Structure 1
Amino acid sequence: MLKVKKAALHNLGCKVNSYELEAMQQMLEKAGYEIVPFEPGADVYVINTCTVTNIADRKSRQMLHKAKSMNPDAVVVAVGCYAQVKGEELKKDEAIDLVLGSNCKNDLIEALADYSRTGEKQIQRTEWDTDKSYEELYIDRTEEHTRAFIKVQDGCNQFCTYCIIPYARGRVRSRKIADVYEEVKRLAASGVKEVVVTGIHVCSYGKDLGEGEDLLALIRAVNEVEGIERIRLGSLEPGSISEDFIKALSEMPKVCPHFHLSLQSGCDRTLKRMNRHYSTADFTEVADWIRKYYEHPALCTDVITGFPGESEADFAECRDFVEAVHFFETHVFPYSRRKGTKAADYPDQNTEAVKKARGKVLRDIDRERRVEFLRYYLRKPIQVLFEEEIEFEGKKYWSGHGREYQKVLVADSRDLTNEMLTVTPADIRGGEYLICM
């Protein structure tokens, strides 16, 4: 009797990576592998890597070496963005047996079979000058059970001066609406009630497809799937959004009033040096449109601190803008100097101390704004999709999210997994939880 091989998987990075790892896990299961925790004892370790920052590179290396240390005889597979960008370096790394770059994830089962026969190290990387195809990956279910991330697009044509992703992921490539629709139908049949439409640059969805295959048409198709009760969108670029688009979304009740608008800086001079394709005035206009069509929407964003050449005056302008917009959540990241990007060669690189100090200023604003946003919902009935039971402040609660992505806790003796309930928050705790008594 043949021994069933055990495979362990680990993900680093974005939600697109999470989706891809779930797809690879389901590929392994269909091929007869037993999926086990990322612990000693597996025969195969698959690490879906990330290269968005230097820290991501380091974490990717650490996890690959950790896998080999857990079982020196196991096959260690480096997959994804770090594998794509650093493939030649990984060729020399004895801890890694297989390297599958971006757009090579579908080759996982065949690559493992070849390695089992030959024992020869393989390096597969995508040549973006010639390969412009969308890699078809699918999932039939999700480990989260209640919420599924749906990858609809890959690649980016923006070439922001700080970003390595176009070199790791290639140019814009989109899935056909019909393929997305069928996948969402399968997920709804498995019990999923909420989907998040995601990609590397979601606003570019359909740019490479024919007429009628655009982001709005895609969302309308997902909106028609029976059983799906909520739709969220991944990060949106302000320069690619129109008022008509926001108005159309507001007419679909399943679309949640929760929008992640990619900012990166609230200073126009810095935005220009970043090669971002909008101004702070454009950003404000989009935020105003959203607030025009939604009563109290959640606006979230990302901001990079300490970009090369960002002066104290530039940062003050950024800080004032972030304060004025009143975001629900502001995710703050220090600038990471990435070899191969234009900004890596810019003069006036800021010190790590400057990046850290500016980051603290923005995080302090973020904490204040989160509480300000959540306070609006006290003693108001809100609809919550519950996900899991957690322990908070020594007590057990059911945890879920409102339509605006508020974190909500309720004490209840019933199993509320994947239940949609209307509750009334009475308090805010920990600066992030709405508590229902």
Structure 2
Amino acid sequence: MRKAALHNLGCKVNSYETEAMQQLLEEAGYEIVPFAEGADVYIINTCSVTNIADRKSRQMLHRAKKMNPQAVVVAAGCYVQSAGDALKMDEAVDLVIGNNKKTELVKILEEYFSHEGRIEEETVIDISAAKEYEALTIHKIADHTRAFIKVTDGCNQFCSYCIIPYTRGRVRSRRMEDVRSEVERLVAGGYKEIVLTGIHLSSYGVDFREEETKTLLDLIVYLHEVDGLLRIRLGSLEPRIITKEFAEALAALPKVCPHFHLSLQSGCDATLARMNRHYTTADYLERCDILRAAFDNPAITTDVIVGFPGETGEEFQTTEAFLRTVHFYEMHVFKYSRREGTRAAVMPDQVPEPVKTERSGVLLSLEKIMSLEYRKQFLGKMTEVLMEEEFEWDGRRYMIGHTKEYVKAAVPFDEGLKGAMVCGTLTEMVNDEVILLTR
């Protein structure tokens, strides 16, 4: 029995695909072992979203070869699509498998072993020409309460800083029936919450033929019917998908969590235009208002990039002021990272690294203030918490989970509560990030 070790780099979509590849290997008889010395096959699902991600992918591939020089080292995923020719020349890499080829992992490995390292078929395709969604599925994951479900691949947006449309191709959506089958299997296995995710989730269905047009809302309604499923959470959304009709339809579905991650990137219209984002700050604020009208105090979270090429001090101040106006629950703040192959990489007026660091610090401090203010609004309120794992603070043990709004809440430790939905009142702050739930 051959031993295989897998390592994931990058986003939730990559995590899902790594889980799926692991299950393919298990079904083929491979023994899955930790990513350490002793494996016969090392599979690294790579990331290429930034130059730093490229470097981490290379480092992990070389680390695998050093752990066992006789092992087969497989580079899979996005970095393969952006640097496949270079990887084929890298002595640390034995096999490269691009996106939309991961389902063939076992077959490719079998051919490699049976033909003494020779592979006849092409393992990296022109991803821009891919039309079909790659049929990866999972039936179990490590977390027994929440399951991430990949429903789209590819992106048609072409933001000026982003390489993803070139490494993932155009939008490809998964069939609704296939998604539901996977959700039903996971729910039968004990999972109670799903998170719909994808490279560009809001584009779900845009690639379907006209006579079978379906949207993300159609998919959510369809999954809402699954017996035993308690919560549906959504991954990152394009702001423009939020309309009055969309928000009101979601609000009528009790399983849908009032937690919306609306990608912003900048609170300055001039910067948004250089980023090739297809909305203005006024558009964005309107979408937040729509959500707040349809839901009772929904959690709205976002991503922000600081130090984008050409971002002046005045533009940054405009962004900071806009963030205060929206008042997010959480913000993921990123310093702009130059990515070769994108338009932004060759833009003039690149912002110095110390300036990026300073601006990032300002927004991270603001995030902590706004996040705590949002959490404190739930004190004294009744809610349900899906308990997930053990948590220790100040010498005390708790079980911790999340409300529908993704606010962390805890009860005194009781191992039997893992995976249980617990109802109670949020009474006091355990720390700045966790609220005590009193039953």
Same fold (TM over 0.5): yes
- In structure 1, what is the Cα distance between the partners aligned to 2:45 and 2:426? 38
Q: Are 1:226 and 2:223 counterparts?
A: no
Q: What's the counterpart of residue 107 of structure 1?
A: 104
Q: Amino acid of the residue matched to residue 184 of structure 1? A: V
Q: What's the counterpart of residue 24 of structure 1?
A: 21
The residue correspondences of 1:71-86 to structure 2 (distance < 5 A) are 71-86=68-83
Change (3 A) 1:131 1:110: same
Q: What's the counterpart of residue 425 of structure 2?
A: 424
Q: Amino acid of the residue matched to residue 67 of structure 1? A: A
Provide the aligned C-alpha RMSD in A.
1.3
More off after superposition, 121-130 vs 99-108: 121-130
- In structure 1, what is the Cα distance between the partners aligned to 2:329 and 2:115? 54
Q: Amino acid of the residue matched to residue 410 of structure 1? A: V
Q: What's the counterpart of residue 276 of structure 1?
A: 277
- In structure 2, what is the Cα distance between the partners aligned to 1:86 and 1:14? 19
Q: What's the counterpart of residue 410 of structure 1?
A: 411
Q: Amino acid of the residue matched to residue 86 of structure 1? A: A
Shift in Å at residue 121 of structure 1? 6.2
Q: Are 1:42 and 2:1 counterparts?
A: no
Q: Are 1:92 and 2:93 counterparts?
A: no
Q: What's the counterpart of residue 217 of structure 1?
A: 218
- In structure 1, what is the Cα distance between the partners aligned to 2:118 and 2:214? 40
- In structure 1, what is the Cα distance between the partners aligned to 2:177 and 2:49? 31
Indicate if the aligned counterparts of 1:176 and 1:213 stay in contact, CA closer than 8 A.
Answer: no
- In structure 1, what is the Cα distance between the partners aligned to 2:18 and 2:424? 34
The secondary structure found in structure 2 opposite 1:426 is strand
Q: Are 1:391 and 2:388 counterparts?
A: no
The secondary structure found in structure 1 opposite 2:44 is strand
Change (3 A) 1:121 1:62: farther
Q: Amino acid of the residue matched to residue 314 of structure 1? A: E
More off after superposition, 127-136 vs 304-313: 127-136
5+ unaligned residues in a row in structure 2: which ranges?
none
Shift in Å at residue 430 of structure 1? 4.0
Q: What's the counterpart of residue 171 of structure 2?
A: 172
Indicate if the aligned counterparts of 1:97 and 1:121 stay in contact, CA closer than 8 A.
Answer: no
- In structure 2, what is the Cα distance between the partners aligned to 1:96 and 1:392? 43
- In structure 2, what is the Cα distance between the partners aligned to 1:42 and 1:425? 47
Q: TM-score, normalised by structure 2?
A: 0.96
- In structure 2, what is the Cα distance between the partners aligned to 1:129 and 1:53? 19
Q: What's the counterpart of residue 250 of structure 1?
A: 251
Q: Amino acid of the residue matched to residue 10 of structure 1? A: H
Q: Are 1:290 and 2:291 counterparts?
A: yes
Q: Are 1:187 and 2:186 counterparts?
A: yes
The secondary structure found in structure 1 opposite 2:416 is coil
- In structure 2, what is the Cα distance between the partners aligned to 1:203 and 1:416? 34
Q: Are 1:336 and 2:333 counterparts?
A: no
Indicate if the aligned counterparts of 2:76 and 2:96 stay in contact, CA closer than 8 A.
Answer: yes
- In structure 1, what is the Cα distance between the partners aligned to 2:208 and 2:32? 36
- In structure 1, what is the Cα distance between the partners aligned to 2:381 and 2:258? 16
More off after superposition, 264-273 vs 83-92: 83-92
Indicate if the aligned counterparts of 1:98 and 1:121 stay in contact, CA closer than 8 A.
Answer: no
Change (3 A) 1:19 1:129: closer
Percentage identity across paired residues of the two chains: 56
The secondary structure found in structure 2 opposite 1:168 is helix
The secondary structure found in structure 2 opposite 1:415 is helix
How big is each residue's C-alpha offset from its partner over 1:164-206, in whole Å with a ceiling of 9 and x where there is no partner? 0000100010011111111111111111100001100011100
Q: What's the counterpart of residue 147 of structure 1?
A: 146
- In structure 2, what is the Cα distance between the partners aligned to 1:173 and 1:212? 13
Indicate if the aligned counterparts of 2:398 and 2:414 stay in contact, CA closer than 8 A.
Answer: no
Shift in Å at residue 5 of structure 1? 1.1
The secondary structure found in structure 2 opposite 1:124 is coil
Q: What's the counterpart of residue 120 of structure 1?
A: 117
- In structure 2, what is the Cα distance between the partners aligned to 1:426 and 1:107? 52
The residue correspondences of 1:46-85 to structure 2 (distance < 5 A) are 46-85=43-82
Paired positions, count: 434
Q: Amino acid of the residue matched to residue 310 of structure 1? A: E
- In structure 2, what is the Cα distance between the partners aligned to 1:403 and 1:73? 48
Indicate if the aligned counterparts of 1:196 and 1:233 stay in contact, CA closer than 8 A.
Answer: yes
How big is each residue's C-alpha offset from its partner over 1:248-284, in whole Å with a ceiling of 9 and x where there is no partner? 0000000000000000000000001100011001100
- In structure 2, what is the Cα distance between the partners aligned to 1:58 and 1:431? 35
Q: What's the counterpart of residue 133 of structure 1?
A: 132
The secondary structure found in structure 2 opposite 1:180 is helix
- In structure 2, what is the Cα distance between the partners aligned to 1:415 and 1:146? 13
